[in-house]
A and B are shown apart, each in its own frame.
Chain A
């Protein structure tokens, strides 16, 4: 069992083949325009303003509509109009598959019920925290902000499972980046990423495709991602009255005797994205 998207679920159950699924996804993408695209089509915003909103969103924990009002680019009425258009036009992948004629509607309904059952253990939009942690609210925030920043900075679709306690050391990943929190909260915050994921994150940081960049630059990009996320975490924690310090992010060198968990309380969150695997390991110190 793992977190997955509905299309993947259908594929695994042989309800649809990969080619038809891809065609349905493309159709869905052509129909589901983004907030900015609608705002441009209505003449409410210029392309450069949408770009600015996306950049600003990487630093602000706000929805694009709220942000556009805050920055006085749109009125609340205009935001409402755009959101209504977006909602009315939006189609789900199941609907796209049916429209394209690949699967009958009654089969999609049946599969959707099975999918919801399968995925009911995963909470969307809120990080699950296993019982037994000293400061569960802060671990939850670490998970939430990491997921949000991954979506916003790297612009990836991402889903996170509920955290699980790690009794053993995680296996080696392409890159592992660690940041230590000290002061009011004492944690090791560790990012583990496979190569595809790491290159996607690094590319987002550099501002261009990192598919062929050297490993060192990719590692550096992931460290910077960790730095930005932890900077946001510090800000959030400060709002909650916790003054904490963070170390400079460093890349963990795997070798004999490396230890992340070391018999301490460690929670691992696995984040599935459209560009590889990302995991977050939070260790109580």
Chain B
């Protein structure tokens, strides 16, 4: 069976590396792409058509909130998980959930939590 595709959108390579490791250790999933900002994230979403997107909020060029809105406009069924620094951007996380994000995963990542979210995809 084909693995489910994960798209990472985060301006931090270190964060993406940690998340990639967790995803690839989870059976049935692979990281299909890593975008460094919201604009790249939308473009990669269109080409990759991932099963789930992990989206940071605070990024240069275009932030995660705008990118979530755009992706949801393109595909109402898109599954997007918000990546958040602990507690710091609470109102923005709430906004992201309002835009249709399915869940929130705090940094630094707890592998078990990421796997729980993936299991629901």
Residues of A at under 8 Å CB distance from B? 48, 52, 55-56, 58-59, 153, 202, 204-208, 216-217, 220-221, 223-224, 227-228, 230-235, 238, 246, 248
Is there an interface contact between B14 and A206, defined as CB atoms closer than 8 Å? Answer: yes
Given the complex, which residues of A lie within 8 Å of B17, measured CB to CB? Answer: 206-207, 217
Kindly state the separation between the CA atoms of A227 and B14 in the bound complex, as whole angstroms.
12
Q: Give 8 pairs: A residue, B residue, CB < 8 Å, sorted on A.
A: A52-B110, A204-B108, A220-B13, A227-B85, A228-B108, A232-B85, A234-B88, A238-B90
Tell me, rounded to whole Å, the shortest Cβ–Cβ distance linking A180 to chain B: 13
Known: A208-B21, A228-B107, A248-B58. Is A59-B14 also a contact (CB below 8 A)?
Answer: no
Q: How far is the CA of A48 from the CA of B13 in the complex (A)?
A: 27
- Give the distance to chain A from B58, nearest Cβ to Cβ, in Å: 6
Given the interface pairs A52-B110, A217-B13, the reply to whether A235 lies near B86 with Cβ below 8 Å is yes
When distances are taken between beta carbons in the complex, the residues of chain A under 8 Å from B86 are 58-59, 228, 231-232, 235
| Minimum distance in angstroms from B90 CB to a CB of chain A | 7
Q: How far is the CB of B22 from chain A (nearest CB, A)?
A: 8
Tell me whether A206 and B88 are in contact (CB under 8 A). Answer: no
Determine the distance from Cα of A231 to Cα of B108 in the docked complex, in whole angstroms. 11
> Do A234 and B14 form a contact, CB below 8 Å, given A59-B106, A207-B21, A248-B59?
no
Chain A, Cβ-Cβ closest to B14: A221
B2 within 8 A of A: no
B46 at the interface (CB under 8 A from A): no
B83–chain A nearest beta-carbon distance, Å: 11
Interface size class on chain B is: 20 to 34
Given known A-B contacts A216-B13, A232-B87, A206 and B106 have beta carbons under 8 A apart: no
B11 within 8 A of A: yes
Chain A to chain B: the 10 pairs with minimum beta-carbon distance, closest first: A231-B88, A231-B85, A235-B87, A221-B14, A234-B88, A55-B110, A59-B86, A207-B18, A220-B14, A224-B12
Give the complex CA separation of A128 and B15 in angstroms: 32
When distances are taken between beta carbons in the complex, the residues of chain A under 8 Å from B110 are 52, 55-56
Cβ of B112: which chain A residues have Cβ within 8 Å of it?
A: 48, 52, 55
Residue of A nearest to B10 (CB): A224
- Taken together as a complex, chains A and B put the C-alpha atoms of A58 and B106 apart, in Å, by 10
Determine if A246 and B88 form an interchain contact, defined as CB atoms under 8 angstroms apart: yes
Most B CB within 10 A of own CB, among A216, A227, A235, A238: A227
B60 at interface by CB-CB < 8 Å: yes
Give every chain B residue within 8 A of A217 (Cβ-Cβ).
13-14, 17
Shortest CB-to-CB span from B106 to chain A, Å, is: 5
Interface assignment of B89: CB less than 8 Å from any CB of chain A: yes
Besides A58-B108, A228-B107, 15 more A-B contacts (Cβ < 8 Å) are: A52-B112, A59-B87, A206-B14, A217-B13, A223-B12, A223-B14, A224-B15, A228-B86, A230-B85, A231-B88, A231-B89, A235-B90, A246-B88, A248-B58, A248-B59
* A207 surroundings in chain B (CB, below 8 A): 17-18, 21, 108-109
The answer to whether B88 and A248 have CB atoms under 8 Å apart is no
Contact between A227 and B12, CB atoms less than 8 A apart? yes
Contact B18–A205 (Cβ < 8 Å): yes
User: Which residues does chain B contribute within 8 Å of A58, judged by CB atoms?
Assistant: 86, 108
Of all chain A residues, which has the CB nearest B22?
A207
Minimum CB distance partner of A153 in chain B: B108
In the bound complex, CA of A224 to CA of B84 (Å): 11
Closest to B87 in A: A235
Distance (whole angstroms) from the CB of B109 to the closest CB of chain A:
8
For B108, the chain A residues whose CB sits under 8 A away are 55, 58-59, 153, 204-205, 207, 228
Q: Which residues of A contact B89 (CB under 8 A)?
A: 231, 234
